[in-house]
């Protein structure tokens, strides 16, 4: 994996820190991030644009992993930030992120959320639907404010892993239909408004995509429209945002191309299309989430109970599960793992890793080869950096684990462990006294 190596004690080391030492200090379960790797990913995206001399914004999709420290890291790396809710926006502002580099997404932004974003003077609203066009106008007019917008369109493409599907009908809750006249109408509305400054178009075709075809087809379809809009409405898009979705390697079965290759091919296609139209190449914006932080994150658990179903399976349970990583239960997502304290020992059994939640579906990994293990051992699950902590929850009132950033052999706690008190923090009693 991107992160981790084995040290002289046979322990897994992340960013120069022994994971066994980390667990002694912070306990389990524990999310550990290799900060250098996140910086490397960010720089590689940015450099690819710079090398080809293309105006760009690389916006980190903070839904993948949003905390104050992560947002500050994104800021240090000169990234823009994609937020999708008042909570993510608030986190960005609380972290001191420059508002003009924040892009606000979402198919049902509330009045309060839009209000906060207008007040903070964020860089761009990615407008999803006609209702949003209307309320943005209504919120901006009395304040005599003008906001930058992109229109999110659905180009009739859905891409996942190796497949991309062309859907004639855009059956998606997101965006303006590109083929059915909705996008044209939205452009008209935006161009008429004094308060909406239409920068261009956005689309996002899916997540964990391993090939560039879907992106290139999306760009082509959008350019067909840009041509009409240029000719018929004298509107030239300054910005084309092609979303995120670049795939990463969770297990041996995954075979993504390097991030730079996605970007190079996308740039090639956009340049090509713009030239054909006699347009200036628009700024290209992208929104990687998973590919920015996914492989930089590892979750450490302590091994607990074991149950044998004779001749069928060994269940080995850890002290977390779907409360800190929902992806296996929700998407049948696959992960690889090792014993963090026996990282150089050959596997001698095959076990299935169970979570501790009261739900049969709470299984983290099926059929994992591991050395013999017991409660003295630690399990390290790789590639949990994206949509792990951000989708964590308190099912069964399990407190969420803390997050530690590692850089240059130094650990820094960036999210504290939730406590049992936190589990009742928002509860109000039915009776005056609760028994303690
Ligand atoms: N931009 C937009 C508009 C998006 O909807 C998304 C992800 C991204 C960017 C970032 O995509 P990424 O580069 O991370 O693939 N919870 C799911 C993933 C949901 C992705 C939703 N949108 C999972 O754990 O696999």
Reported residue count of the chain is 436
Q: Angle at Cα 120 formed by Cα 119 and Cα 126, nearest 5°?
A: 95
| Separation between Cα atoms, residue 30 and residue 13, nearest integer Å | 14
Q: Residue ranges of the domains in the chain?
A: 5-34+294-423, 35-293
pLDDT in tens, 79-129: 999 999 999 999 999 999 999 999 999 999 999 999 999 999 999 999 999
Nearest-CA neighbor of 150 among 281, 240, 243?
Answer: 240
pLDDT in tens, 366-392: 999 999 999 999 999 999 999 999 999
Residue nearest to atom 15 of ligand 1 (CA): 245
Is the pLDDT confidence value at 277 over 80?
yes
Q: What is the pLDDT of residue 163?
A: 82
Higher pLDDT, 435 or 366: 366
The residue with tokens 């979705």 is 245
Nearest-CA neighbor of 226 among 218, 292, 80?
Answer: 218
Q: Which residues of 93-113 are buried (b: 16+ CB within 10 A; e: fewer)?
A: bebebebebbbbbbeebeeeb
**How far does the centroid of ligand 1 lie from the alpha carbon of residue 166, in Å?**
19
ipTM over cut 0.95: yes
Token pair of 54, please? 């293309």
User: What residues pair up with 241 in beta bridges, in sequence order?
Assistant: 202, 285
| Separation between Cα atoms, residue 286 and residue 211, nearest integer Å | 16
**How far does the centroid of ligand 1 lie from the alpha carbon of residue 38, in Å?**
17
| Separation between Cα atoms, residue 436 and residue 433, nearest integer Å | 9
Domain 5-34+294-423 in CATH: superfamily? Lyase, Ornithine Decarboxylase; Chain A, domain 1 (2.40.37.10)
Ligand 1 lining (C-beta closer than 6 Å): 61, 64, 82, 105, 204, 207, 243-246, 287-291, 327, 331, 386-387
CA–CA distances in Å: residue 117 to residues 90, 102, 199, 232, 275: 9, 9, 17, 32, 35
CATH of 35-293, one of 1.20.120.80, 3.40.50.2000, 3.40.309.10, 3.20.20.10: 3.20.20.10
Q: What's the whole-model pTM score?
A: 0.97
Nearest-CA neighbor of 301 among 13, 18, 26, 3?
Answer: 26
């Amino acid at each position: 994996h991107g992160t981790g190596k084995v040290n002289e004690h046979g322990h897994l080391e992340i960013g120069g820190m022994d994971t066994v030492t980390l667990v002694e200090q912070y306990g389990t379960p524990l999310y550990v991030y290799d900060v250098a790797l996140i910086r490397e990913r960010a720089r590689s995206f940015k450099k690819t644009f710079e090398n080809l001399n293309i105006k760009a914004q690389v916006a980190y999709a903070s839904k993948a992993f949003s905390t104050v420290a992560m947002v500050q890291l994104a800021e240090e790396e000169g990234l823009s930030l994609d937020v999708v809710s008042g909570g993510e926006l608030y986190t960005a502002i609380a972290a001191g992120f420059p508002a003009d580099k924040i892009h606000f997404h979402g198919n049902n932004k509330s009045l309060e959320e839009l209000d906060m974003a207008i007040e903070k003077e964020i860089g761009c609203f990615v407008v999803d639907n006609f209702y949003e066009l209307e309320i943005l106008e209504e919120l901006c007019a009395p304040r005599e404010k003008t906001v930058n917008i992109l229109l999110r369109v659905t180009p009739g493409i859905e891409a996942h892993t190796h497949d991309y599907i062309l859907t004639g009908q855009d059956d998606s809750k997101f965006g303006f239909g590109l083929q059915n006249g909705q996008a044209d109408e939205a452009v008209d509305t935006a161009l008429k408004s004094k308060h909406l400054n239409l920068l261009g178009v956005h689309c996002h075709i899916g997540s964990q995509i391993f090939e560039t075809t879907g992106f290139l087809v999306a760009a082509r379809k959008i350019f067909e429209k840009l041509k009409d809009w240029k000719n018929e409405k004298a509107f030239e898009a300054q910005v084309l945002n092609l979303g995120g979705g670049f795939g990463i390697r969770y297990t041996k079965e995954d075979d993504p191309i390097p991030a730079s290759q996605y970007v190079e091919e996308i740039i090639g296609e956009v340049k090509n299309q713009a030239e054909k139209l006699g347009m200036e190449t628009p700024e290209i914006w992208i929104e990687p989430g998973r590919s920015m932080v996914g492989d930089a994150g590892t979750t450490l658990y302590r091994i607990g109970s074991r149950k044998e179903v004779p001749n069928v399976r060994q269940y080995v349970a850890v002290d977390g599960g779907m409360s800190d990583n929902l992806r296996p239960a929700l998407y049948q997502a696959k992960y690889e793992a090792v014993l963090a304290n026996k990282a150089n020992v050959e596997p001698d059994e095959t076990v299935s890793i169970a979570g501790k939640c009261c739900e049969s579906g709470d299984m983290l990994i099926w059929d994992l080869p591991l050395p013999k293990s017991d409660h003295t051992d630690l399990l390290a699950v790789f590639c949990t950096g994206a949509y792990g902590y951000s989708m964590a929850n308190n099912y069964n009132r399990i407190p969420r684990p803390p997050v530690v950033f590692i850089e240059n052999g130094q650990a820094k706690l960036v999210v504290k462990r939730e406590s049992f008190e936190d589990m009742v923090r928002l509860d109000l009693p039915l009776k005056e006294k609760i028994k303690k």
